[in-house]
Amino acid sequence: MSRIGKNPVEVPSGVTVEIAGQQVTAKGKNGELRARLVDEVEISHEDNLIWVKPRGESRRARQMWATSRTMVNNLVTGVSDGFTRKLEINGVGYRAQVQGKDLVLQLGYSHEVRHPIPDGITVNCPDATHIEITGADKQAVGQVAAEVRGYRPPEPYKGKGIKYAEETILRKEGKKK
């Protein structure tokens, strides 16, 4: 039995969830999100709980049970609270700032890197070396954070580059004489 899938998703006040077949739509203060679940699971809404159950005993149904429950939970959490990823920039002269609909990064290249900010995502730079990416869609927030980190991933010798705030860089010792 799935340890994640057996738990219901609680719907907080201020969030409405509509289920039409395999289509789940959640509306809240941060907007509206929808997801289509696979046919191997069935979804039901009782009071302020959403239950996800496998339709059969097939391997795929059991695999998609917890995945579908997590997708529904991410919809509900996204429209009520939202998701945030924090990035840190390490390196002399490395900095970031938001200009209009672009995130402008100076990462030691001969040019500045401009990353367009997609709709539904908010990027904030509290100072020149920190970036906060916020949005209702967890996948989109993570994708933007991964793309920004990909411009200059942290290197293991000095730790220079863009890293997630909770990430630890495994450092290597330089070469010896």
Domain ranges within the chain, ordered by starting residue: 9-80, 83-164
3 has a pLDDT exceeding 90:
no
Cβ atoms 151, 138 nearer than 8 A: no
Determine the pLDDT at residue 2: 77
Fold agreement (9-80, 83-164): yes
CATH hierarchy code of domain 9-80: 3.90.930.12
Cβ atoms 146, 152 nearer than 8 A: no
- Over range 162-169, report the average pLDDT: 94
Task: Give domain 83-164's CATH architecture.
Answer: Alpha-Beta Complex (3.90)
pLDDT tens column, 4-46: 889 999 999 999 999 998 999 999 999 999 999 999 999 999 9
Structure token pair of residue 107: 């990462």
Structure token pair of residue 46: 């009782």
Report the predicted TM-score, pTM, of the whole model to 2 decimal places: 0.89
In three-state secondary structure terms, 38 is coil
